[in-house]
Amino acid sequence: MTAVITKDVARITSSILHPYLFLSVVVGMIAYQNSPVLALWAKWTIVTLLTAYLLPVIYMRLRIYTLSHTTGVQSDLHHFFRERPLEMAVLACIFGIPSTALIYYLNYPSSIIATIVAVAVTTLVIALTNLVYRASFHLALFSSATVPLMITFGLPALTVLPFMFLLGTARYYLGEHTPLQLTAGFFIGVVVTAAVFYGFGILK
């Protein structure tokens, strides 16, 4: 009974702390930090997230629909990407390229652009890594979104670290990853994002 409760708690924790939900909060906070007025903050946040998420969601739904109708195999997002890691690479491009191009054209703050690029590149690296080793996608993206927060807000952003630990613990209790796989995902997210922000000239 205790094991069932633990798994239920881990599943809820994993859902609440999903990296894409966390990324939405991070983008909103960075946009707020850079915007002089509330209307501009809303515009930057909504346009960035809408362009980053809309095409990937459409693509994922269409791929699963097509797969189920051509092969008769019913799949969900979890199993779809686990069985086809290269699909995650495609998703990274669909997530990153159109949204980055648009917000760059609209002259959005470089920290917002760098955040989207960093998460997209981290997703791509994780997809390629998972061809040979199953690093944690969740920890990679969560840490990738945490780095911009720490660069923007400094030490107060360290309050996010316990949530990262909770997410890693939840993924472990769900049997999704070993501690080494979680650690690998964490370091991939941190290193890739730091490199992207350095390339943008934001991290000195």
| Residue range 181-191, pLDDT digits in tens | 999 999 999 99
Mind listing the pLDDT tens digit for each residue in 3-57? Answer: 555 888 888 999 999 999 999 999 999 999 999 999 999 999 999 999 999 988 8
- Please check whether residue 191 lies inside any domain of the structure: yes
**Per-residue pLDDT at 109:** 95
Q: What is the pLDDT of residue 189?
A: 97
Residue 64 lies in a domain: no
Tell me, yes or no, whether 79 lies in a domain: no
- In total, how many domains does the chain have? 1
Looking at the domain assignment, is residue 19 inside a domain? yes
Residue 72 is assigned to a structural domain of this protein: no
* Residue 28 belongs to a domain: yes
Q: Which of 17-26, 63-72, 96-105 has the lowest mean pLDDT?
A: 63-72
Can you give the residue range of the structural domain that contains 150? 2-56+86-199
pLDDT classification of 61: cutoffs 50, 70, 90: confident
Residues 6+ apart with CB under 8 A from 132: none
Q: Does residue 68 belong to any structural domain of this protein?
A: no
Asked if the structure places residue 81 within a domain, the reply is no
Say if residue 83's pLDDT is above 80: no
| Percent of the chain predicted with pLDDT > 70 | 93
- Give the pLDDT score at 85: 76
203: left (phi over 0), alpha (psi -120 to 50) or beta: beta
SS (H, E, C) the chain: CHHHHHHHHHHHHHHHCCHHHHHHHHHHHHHHHHCCCHHHHHHHHHHHHHHHHHHHHHHHHHHHHHHHHHHCCCCCHHHHHHHCHHHHHHHHHHHHHHHHHHHHHCCCCHHHHHHHHHHHHHHHHHHHHCCCCCCCHHHHHHHHHHHHHHHHHCHHHHHHHHHHHHHHHHHHHCCCCCHHHHHHHHHHHHHHHHHHHHHCCCCC
Q: What is the pTM of this model?
A: 0.92
